[in-house]
Structure formats: structure tokens, C-alpha cells
Amino acid sequence: MKSKSRQLMLGLMLVGGAAGSLAMSLAWAQSETASDPVAEYRAMFGDDNPAELWIARGQDLWNQVRGPKGLSLAKSCDLGLGAGVVKGAYAHMPRYFADTRKVQDLDSRLLTCMVQGQGLDEATILKNRFGDGDRKSDLEALASYIVDASKGVAISLPLDHPQEKQAYETGKAIFFYRAATHDFSCATCHGQVGKRIRLQQLPDLAQAGPDARATYTTWPAYRVSQGEVRTMEWRIGDCFRQQRLPELKYGSEAAIDLTMFLAKNAEGGKMAAPGLKR
């Protein structure tokens, strides 16, 4: 805390009484608002983002020959633009895939490629779906590499397939659906401009606009508070947890449909992920 803020706090403490307590609370809130850990991190490290480590590991995993089928993802995994093509792929996902006959986001598509394409064990992969300290996730590393390859590419989801249109509509319905012990929906926190919880600004994700574009295009992201890169699958799952909803199964239709809704609302925004979050 800066010396002027300290002097102000000391002065308020001397005032005493209810008025002094109220003023002190307001001063503390103001000082907390001014303190942004992510802004401080950027000031210290400039453009450096620890996600670069995940990107490098993801690129290595993408090109590695692995699994019983002896294939690399670079030779066998189609993210929608052809086998092995990563440039711009994330900007056009979720999307319908003919081989699985369903709409998939990046997380679920990677799982398909690793299990069906390389022959890796799904249960083993999902044990480490989210990294935690020394235990790193292959899925998060691969996602970081693929997302980084879409930097500067504008999001475009034409919704040409009937299942893509249905995914968007279902995602929209889920976004506004109130449930669980708190009677919350996604829109409770993210349904209007300028809303806050405590000192945290909440983006409006309910409609197409600058908030939706700025938010979606910076995920996946490195979270300073966790020391890990997190994907959109993790972000949605954590929102469900905060709403006290049942835990999302990894790659569930609910997560994919919500991602489709959010991505469509962010259409036209240029990808800037992996981002840097608090």
C-alpha cells in the first residue's frame, strides 16, 4: 500500500465512531480496486506469459508419435480444417464433425483424437484433465498450442449444420436457466453491462458485443492465482460449481453447447489467447 493510503487509513482510525468506520471501509475498498494483481504482474513481466511453457509442451505432444496406433496428432487429428491443421482451427470451433456425428469443442475433439486416433486410454487421460502443480495436463498443453495458432484470426461460426444451430439454441437456454440452491443462472452474473460482484467487474456475455468478444477471445488462459493454464471447459465447469450445480462431465453436451453460445456471441473478435487472468 502506498504511503499516502497508509496516512489516510491512520487518519481515519483516529476519527473513531461510525462515520470513521464507514469512511475507513470506503477507503479500503478504493485501495483494493486500485490493486489489480494481473496488472501488477504485467507491469513486472511485460508481454511475458507463462503459458508459453504450455504452448511449447503442447507443440511437442502434437508432433509426438504416441499410443498403440503409433500415430502423432499432427498426422491423424482433424480439428475441422484437415488432418494436422492448427492455424485458425480454434476460431471456428465448436463445430460439427462428420466422423463423430456431433458438435464438439476443442477439449472434446482432442479427447476423440487421442483415444480414437492414437489409441490412448480415455480414463488415464481424464485423470489429469486439469493440471495441478507438478501434475500437468496433456489436454491443457495441447489446447494452449492449438489456441496460440489462432492468434489474430477472427471468430467465425456460420452454424451451417442443423446440429450446430441446435447447439447454439441449447447453449442459450442453459445460459438463462436458473437452478440449484442459489437459483442462479449464467445470466445472473453475466447478463448485463457494468455488473460487479464485490470488487470484480463481470462481463456481459448474454449478447454479442465488446464484452463477449474481449472475454471469449482471451480463453484459454494462464491463471496467476493457480499457476496453470485453464481451458474453456474448465471455466464453464467452475461456473457450474459456483452456481452449486452438479459437476459437469468432461466433454458434456452442456459444456459444448454453452461454449457454442459464447463463441457465437464473440463472433468477429480476433483470438488473443492464451490470455492472462487473475
What pLDDT, in 10s, does the model give residues 109-148? 999 999 999 999 999 999 999 999 888 999 999 999 999 9
Query: pLDDT by residue (tens digit) across 150-159?
Result: 999 999 999 9
- pTM of the predicted model as reported, rounded to 2 decimal places: 0.81
Portion of the chain with pLDDT greater than 90, in percent: 60
| Residue of higher predicted confidence among 241 and 152 | 152
Query: pLDDT by residue (tens digit) across 178-214?
Result: 887 877 888 887 766 776 666 567 888 889 999 999 9
Measured CA to CA in angstroms, residue 144 lies from 57, 161, 197 at distances of: 9, 27, 29
Residue 206: per-residue pLDDT:
86
Measured CA to CA in angstroms, residue 190 lies from 150, 175, 178, 224, 274 at distances of: 26, 9, 13, 22, 21
- Rounded to the nearest integer, the mean pLDDT of the chain is 84
- pLDDT band, residue 42 (cuts 50/70/90): low
Residue 111: per-residue pLDDT:
96
- 57-66, 120-129, 234-243: segment of lowest average pLDDT: 234-243
Residues 264/157, Cβ–Cβ less than 8 Å: yes
Active site residues: 239
Rounded to 5°, the CA angle 230-61-134 comes to 50
| Residue of higher predicted confidence among 100 and 18 | 100
Region 204-229: what's the mean pLDDT?
92
